[in-house]
Amino acid sequence: MAEEAKSQDLPPLVTRKPVKTKEELDLLLADRGVRYYKELEVFPVDTAALKKTLDATCKSRIRTWLEICAHCSLCADTCFFYLANDNDPKQIPSYKIKSTLGELVKRKGDVDTQFMINCMDTAWGKCTCCNRCGMYCPHGIDMGVMFGYLRGLCFSQGFVPHEMKIGSGMHWIYNAQMDVTVEDYVDTCKWMVEENEEYYPGLEIPVDKVGADIMYVVNAREPKHYPQDLAEAAILFHLAGESWTVPSKGWEGTSLAMFAGDWACCKQQVENVYAAMERLKVKRYVGTECGHQHRATITEGPYWAGRKSGDPPVPGLHYVEWVLEALETGKLKLDPAKKIKEPVTLQDPCNYIRNHGLTDVTRKIMSYIAEDFREMSPNREHNFCCGGGGGMNGIGRYRKERNIGLKVKRDQILATGAKFVVSACHNCWDAIRDLEEVYKIGIKWSFLKPILLDMVIVPDHLKPKEEE
């Protein structure tokens, strides 16, 4: 009794507004989801606002998709959740969208709390927005796009998984998906130079260098948890002789706000990066080995920022594009003797393969680094989601569902016979790490940077001077 009274005095965790202050964020972080989901169970739906949003944003494209779906079920076996759940008809993409967004539109937003919780559990717990189903629908219905839209509706009503609310809050407060400030980031850059300059004389991580050719933008996980990744990127740029820089403000390119469906936050986040491009007058942008960062900053970002051309201010490259260019132009030279001898396979991330067409880039890179490269089946734009995309990896509420979904990727990897998976995407990398943890199939996994660093030939003039 006393405890209940106490919790009633606390400010509510569930609101329809994004988290924009550190106090609110700390409160959410401390809760770990328990009180949050309890509050969500009784949180009312603002049906009038929902109807208004639907009227303003649900236009002919989505309404037509919902209307002309022939209920043919051809999308069933395109979804890894359907396959991983023993062909459960409730996992058919068409069923999932029809029973959530379809009903919501039909009822013009007049739905209750339980309905919205089901929408949330479907939009985040049964779909990673990998867009694979859309490629197989004869009518050209992209259910991934509709689930992205549904996430936005859910977010606007406060029905969003705990970690996603935190994620967008981080972006509002830090302009990064984690609590890493500009100062923290710049310090990490300095620290990484100090750690490595002994081995790579002249190594630098130029911060805010105006007029550089390349502006390199990272994922906040790197400075926060894997600073070595930042060092590796710096070393490779250094060895390739690139003119490059990292921005202080605008250093982070990912967007958990995109996973959360917080479109206003997406806009703020990406405008920060674009402002850095313009401020530093760089020629090109290169993003780190992250799939959704590329999607958020290069593919979708221009639209959030209101750029009619659909392009960012300067051309945007995914890291793999830069690597291939450096290999093909000879800026980076690899020692062929150090090619990976054992069988190795490659994960195709949805966000820059299916959704940005870089299908052949990674394969060409593999030809430089692997002697026995084995394709997964299916591959390229037909590849299955790793199982952890769209924010899935980070949401505790759907951990069980995520782990079931991983079975498809596990079986794809096992079928190649390779025990080594190359993954140039943070979410895929995580999902593959977790699938090893859950299913113990004896695989290793890696980003490209450590592999390249292992094989790269250091030009003589960049080698450390031998002690006399």
**Which residues would be at the binding site for other proteins (CB under 8 A)?**
57, 59-61, 63-65, 67-74, 76-77, 87, 89-90, 92, 94-95, 98, 134-142, 299-300, 302-304, 306, 308-310, 354-360, 381-382
Angle between helices 143-156 and 47-57 (to 10 degrees): 140
Q: How far is the CB of 138 from other proteins (least distance, A)?
A: 6
Q: How far is the CB of 77 from other proteins (least distance, A)?
A: 7
Closer CB to other proteins, 22 or 90, in the complex = 90
Neighbours of 304 (CB within 10 A): 22
Cβ contacts of 161 within 8 Å, gap of 6 or more: 120, 124, 391, 395, 397, 398
Residue 170 to residue 130: CA distance in whole angstroms: 24
The answer to whether 272 and 185 have CB atoms below 8 angstroms apart is no
DSSP labels, 402-421: HHHHHHHHHHHHHHHT-SEE
Closer CB to other proteins, 201 or 310, in the complex = 310
Q: How far is the CB of 213 from other proteins (least distance, A)?
A: 20
Closer CB to other proteins, 18 or 316, in the complex = 316
Q: How far are the Cα atoms of 189, 198, 210 from residue 206, in angstroms, in the given order?
A: 9, 17, 10
Closer CB to other proteins, 48 or 72, in the complex = 72
Q: How far is the CB of 310 from other proteins (least distance, A)?
A: 3
Closer CB to other proteins, 60 or 329, in the complex = 60
Return the beta strands (E) in 184-309 as ranges: 214-217, 244-245, 284-287
Helix (H, G, I), strand (E, B) or coil at 218: strand
The answer to whether 181 and 174 have CB atoms below 8 angstroms apart is yes
Q: How far is the CB of 376 from other proteins (least distance, A)?
A: 16
Q: How far is the CB of 322 from other proteins (least distance, A)?
A: 14
Q: How far is the CB of 61 from other proteins (least distance, A)?
A: 6
Which residues are registered as beta bridge partners of 304?
A: none
Q: How far is the CB of 417 from other proteins (least distance, A)?
A: 24
> Which amino acid belongs to residue 133?
C
Cβ contacts of 231 within 8 Å, gap of 6 or more: 192, 193, 195, 196
E strand or H helix that includes residue 340? strand 340-346
